[in-house]
Amino acid sequence: KKLVFSGVQPTGNLHLGNYLGAIRKFVALQEGNDCIYCVVDLHSLTAQLVHNDLPGQIRSIAAAFIASGIDPEKHIVFNQSAVPQHAELAWIFNCVARIGWMNRMTQFKDKAGKDRENASLGLLAYPSLMAADILVYRGTHVPVGDDQKQHLELARDIAMKFNLDYQDHIRRAGQGVDITVGDEPVHAYFPMVEPLIEGPAPRVMSLRDGTKKMSKSDPSDLSRINLMDDEDAISKKIRKAKTDPDGLPSEVEGLKGRPEADNLVGIYGALADKTKTEVLAEFGGQQFSVFKPALVDLAVQVLSPITGEMRRLMDDTSHIDAILRNGGERARARAEATMKDVRDIIGFLY
């Protein structure tokens, strides 16, 4: 059984990229695995320190999980700040990780912009908290969009350095297992996490610019389809989506150098569970005036039941609150078991 962990930040409206790149994979992974899905509210302070309605944002991400088909009884759904062990392990990982590793993260460079001296320390340390989120459950598999790949490589580096630095202590505490990483034998406490990035839409791009990822923080709402958008909004955004003047090619090679067309075909394929080749077999040679209405119909068909259920769950939040409370308790018990080992390995008295 794999231990699957992933998280989504409560920072603004969820969009189609979050759904196709992450949440839909969370749903599919439930069968046969032990899954922990988290609303990462501690992380959200790196994007925005003061939120107007953080409780509402947290509930709406949890509602999206449930409305998309995550079972909170078989698996765990909770918010990060309810389990203080994440922050405790993150501190230890801050001491394991090197500043140079953090400085190389493209997300940090993008989000900090030119004025790095003024970026928060939290933004720099973000990947260390992310590693703690996963490893406090000794998670092995992490479904994420393509943008998170570099952070997961860093989580492996942190786990590896902890395992190497504390080898003797791990043995002395009677913990860990012998593994080989590359050719190197290691007595490891933390597993090497595997990213699960593949899927039909690992990177959904903006509807206004096919070279930029669809993102919550894009100032243009026309750039993304939000999970809470109604039929009219979805229709308007897809009709206005940037395209080039040519029709659709009949082969995937014909999408090269046409990022907007490639993105729309990819979105259609992901929503329909089809490959791009299959989509082009159906629409090759057609104009966008034919393809776009078909995409609108499909997007509405897939998203409207989720939107409807999210609205219902958000009308009376007692159900969501009960799910988060119960998930928090179960997550805390599991995280505390890891932290007892970790405190023991390091040598903290408690």
Q: Can you say which residues are annotated as belonging to the binding site for ATP?
A: 9-11, 17-18, 145-147, 204, 213-217
Nearer to ligand AQP, 144 or 303 (CB): 144
Residue 240, both tokens: 């206005």
Residue in 111, 161, 274, 276 annotated catalytic:
111
Binding positions:
9-11, 17-18, 133, 145-147, 204, 213-217
From residue 50, give the alpha-carbon distance in Å to each of 47, 74, 118, 302.
Answer: 9, 34, 17, 34
Q: Is 242 a catalytic residue?
A: no
Min dist. Cβ of residue 125 to ligand AQP (A): 16
Q: Is 161 a catalytic residue?
A: no
Nearer to ligand AQP, 47 or 154 (CB): 47
Min dist. Cβ of residue 294 to ligand AQP (A): 21
Looking at residue 31, its amino acid is E
Ordered DSSP codes for 141-177: EEE--GGGHHHHHHHHHHHHHHHHHTHHHHHHTT--E
Min dist. Cβ of residue 96 to ligand AQP (A): 23
Residue in 2, 161, 216, 242 annotated catalytic:
216
Nearest residue to ligand AQP, by Cβ distance, number only: 21
**Computed from CA positions of residues 104, 208, 238, 285, in that sequence, does the dihedral angle turn out positive or negative?**
negative
Q: Is 2 a catalytic residue?
A: no
Binding positions for L-tryptophan:
133
87, 110 Cβ separation under 8 angstroms: no
Interface residues toward ligand AQP, by CB under 6 A: 8-9, 11, 17-18, 21-22, 47, 144-145, 147-148, 203-204, 213-217
* Angle, helix 54-68 to helix 318-346, in steps of 10 degrees: 100
- What is d(CA 335, CA 16) in angstroms, rounded to the nearest whole number? 31
Min dist. Cβ of residue 53 to ligand AQP (A): 17
- What is d(CA 300, CA 247) in angstroms, rounded to the nearest whole number? 23
Catalytic residue set: 111, 213, 216
